[in-house]
């Protein structure tokens, strides 16, 4: 019995819990951390600057800011999990920052903005989006800057959590089964983590079955840059500018939330299956087209920049610290 329990729960060669138990531990911890953070903000909302900020925000914007605050706390928690439970450095989650990492980030930022711009232009050409007003007032710059910071935090923490942590641990766990190759393990982990990504967004306002499916597809698109480079630079960049251009530049809802300020105010027309309606482009076929366009751009870039489209071995083969105290 003792040997069986060791086999089920503990990886002796890696000296850490097996992947399912690591993921379960992290999931419970993240839920507790998120709940504690929300509760603390509710208790202190009248007495602190952060609480006052949340109270003063528009109802549609408040969940985005709260998500960013909770995400920042989760990233700090992930630092501890990486070191103690996973026995690896944070850089092993796709944050091995060097010159190439910054170049990949710049590309990701560019392709995210370009893909969303293509979605909007196609929507305008087809009559599914209508530009109402264009604002060049400097009065909105502080709000734009604040919400840009929110999208920056959200892009980093969601990619670190879903791609860097979840996808990596799933891929490593799947490799435990005999006969499962690294590419297959990475592919299955990508599909599973992308499904989780879609389901998490299913709780957003105005979410639909189609929005969940398309955001799951977006999860696969975002994972491509991680799979082929072993770094999160490309998915972080795409994630940030996809959201920022969608909400702050073009004034469309961002996963169900319409922002109070934007450079351009755009409204969606029916059919919602094309435009995405009140959820935003990710709930319509135009958004799916943007996802496909971004995926093609990522594949072309990785092939030209790195000379191949081979899944990086770091995705499913752990590079652990040699001793628990290293």
Find the mean pLDDT for residues 212-239.
95
242 Cβ neighbours under 8 A, 6+ residues apart:
112, 113, 115, 116, 290, 294
221 within domain boundaries: yes
The verdict on residue 74 lying in a domain is no
- Cβ burial 36-48 (10 Å sphere, 16+ → b, else e): ebeeebeeeeeee
Is residue 36 situated within a structural domain? Answer: no
Which residues constitute the domain of residue 252?
96-315
Lowest mean pLDDT among 44-58, 163-177, 235-249: 44-58
Residue 137, pLDDT score: 73
Neighbouring-strand partners of residue 254: 257
- Using 50, 70 and 90 to split pLDDT, how confident is the model at 231? very high
Write down the pLDDT at residue 25: 74
138 secondary structure, DSSP code: G
Burial class from Cβ neighbours inside 10 Å (0-12, 13-18, 19+) for residue 155 reads buried
Q: How far is CA 163 from CA 93, 99, 223, in A?
A: 8, 21, 6
What gap in Å lies between CA 277 and CA 265, rounded to an integer? 14
Is the confidence at residue 200, as pLDDT, over 80? Answer: yes
Domain for residue 50, yes or no?
A: no
Compute the distance between CA of residue 171 and CA of residue 185 in angstroms, rounded to an integer: 5
Structure-model confidence comparison of residues 159 and 183, the more confident one: 159
Other CB atoms within 10 Å distance of the CB of residue 154: 22
Q: pLDDT for 53-62, tens place per residue? A: 544 455 556 6
Q: 75 in a domain, yes or no?
A: no
Tokens of 301: 């870039």
Residue 231 counted as domain residue: yes
106-157 tens-digit pLDDT: 999 999 999 999 999 999 999 999 998 887 777 778 878 888 888 998 899 8
* Mean pLDDT for the stretch of residues 10-15: 67
Q: At what angle do helices 99-126 and 233-244 cross, to 10 degrees?
A: 30
Q: What is the mean pLDDT of the chain?
A: 83
Look up residue 292 and give its two tokens.
Answer: 């496909």
What confidence score (pLDDT) does residue 8 get?
67
Q: How far apart are CA 166 and CA 154, in angstroms?
A: 16
Within a domain: 135: yes
**Helix spans in the chain (H):** 2-9, 19-44, 49-56, 62-84, 99-126, 141-158, 168-174, 182-201, 209-229, 233-244, 272-275, 285-306
Confidence band (pLDDT; 50, 70, 90) for 325? very low
Cα separation, 270 vs 267, in Å, equals 10
Q: Is the pLDDT of residue 101 over 90?
A: yes
What pTM was computed for the model?
0.86
> Based on the structure, what is the number of domains in the chain?
1
Cis bond before residue 55 (omega within 30° of 0): no
For residue 91, what pLDDT is reported? 77
Residues 240-269 have a mean pLDDT of 90
Q: Which residues contact 149 (CB under 8 A, 6 or more apart)?
A: 68
Residue 11 pLDDT exceeds 70? no
Q: What is the pLDDT of residues 23-51, one digit of tens each?
A: 777 777 767 776 776 676 565 555 444 44
Residue 80 and residue 82: Cα distance in Å, rounded? Answer: 5
pLDDT at 294 over 70: yes
- 49 Cβ contact partners less than 8 Å away, ≥ 6 residues apart: none
More confident of the two residues 237 and 318: 237
Higher per-residue confidence, 54 vs 70: 70
pLDDT of residue 90: 75
């Amino acid at each position: 019995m003792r040997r069986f329990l060791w086999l089920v729960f503990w990886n002796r060669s890696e000296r850490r819990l097996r992947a399912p138990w690591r993921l379960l531990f992290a999931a419970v911890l993240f839920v507790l951390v998120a709940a504690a953070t929300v509760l603390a903000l509710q208790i202190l909302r009248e007495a602190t600057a952060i609480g006052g900020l949340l109270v003063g925000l528009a109802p549609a914007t408040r969940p985005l800011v709260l998500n960013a605050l909770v995400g920042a706390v989760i990233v700090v928690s992930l630092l501890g999990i990486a070191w103690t439970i996973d026995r690896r450095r944070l850089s092993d989650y796709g944050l091995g920052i060097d010159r190439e990492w910054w170049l990949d980030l710049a590309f990701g930022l560019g392709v995210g903005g370009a893909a969303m711009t293509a979605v909007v232009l196609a929507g305008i050409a087809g009559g599914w989006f209508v530009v109402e007003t264009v604002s060049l007032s400097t009065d909105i710059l502080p709000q734009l800057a604040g919400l840009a910071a929110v999208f920056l935090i959200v892009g980093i923490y969601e990619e670190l959590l879903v791609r860097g942590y979840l996808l990596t641990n799933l891929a490593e766990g799947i490799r435990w089964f005999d006969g499962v190759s690294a590419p297959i393990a990475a592919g299955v982990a990508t599909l599973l983590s992308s499904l989780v990504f879609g389901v998490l967004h299913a709780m957003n306002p105005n979410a639909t079955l189609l929005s969940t499916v398309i955001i799951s597809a977006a999860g696969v698109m975002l994972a491509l840059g991680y799979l082929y480079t072993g770094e999160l630079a490309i998915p972080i960049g795409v994630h940030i500018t996809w959201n920022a251009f969608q909400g702050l530049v073009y004034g469309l809802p961002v996963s169900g939330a319409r922002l109070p300020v934007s450079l351009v105010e755009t409204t969606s027309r029916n059919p919602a299956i094309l435009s995405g309606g009140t959820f935003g482009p990710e709930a319509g076929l135009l958004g799916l087209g943007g996802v496909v366009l971004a995926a093609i751009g990522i594949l072309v870039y990785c092939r030209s920049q790195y000379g191949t489209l081979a899944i990086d071995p770091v995705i499913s083969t752990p590079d652990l610290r040699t001793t628990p105290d290293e």
